[in-house]
Copies of this chain bind each other. A is one copy, B any other.
């Protein structure tokens, strides 16, 4: 089994951003993404209702280092100031590096 290292970028943010975020991510070169519904708390308070405008999503993007850096920079510039959002990156091993 040949494995290669790629970046897994995870974003937790407001559900209302789902469609714009996905558009941005794809424009910045990601080949895919995975979204799930989550709840939580951070500096902008509790976000955990059955209610779209105060619930969160987690978006995960598996990509190469450059794309991860570009997405992170873009999100930091455009969304950090106004939206509940956190972002973190870690290394993962994948089998088909050309895919990501």
Contacts and interface: CB of A to CB of B under 8 A. Distances in A.
**In the complex this chain forms, how many copies of it are found?**
3
A53 interface: no
Q: Is the interface of A mostly helix, strand, loop or mixed?
A: strand
Nearest to A89: B93
A86 B69 contact: no
A57 to B, nearest CB: 10
Contacts of A80: 96
Interface of A: 1, 3, 6, 8, 10, 12, 22, 31-43, 48, 56, 58, 62, 69, 72-73, 76, 80, 86-96, 99
17 contacts: A1-B76, A3-B89, A6-B88, A12-B34, A31-B43, A32-B40, A32-B42, A32-B86, A33-B40, A34-B39, A36-B36, A36-B39, A86-B94, A86-B99, A88-B93, A89-B92, A89-B94
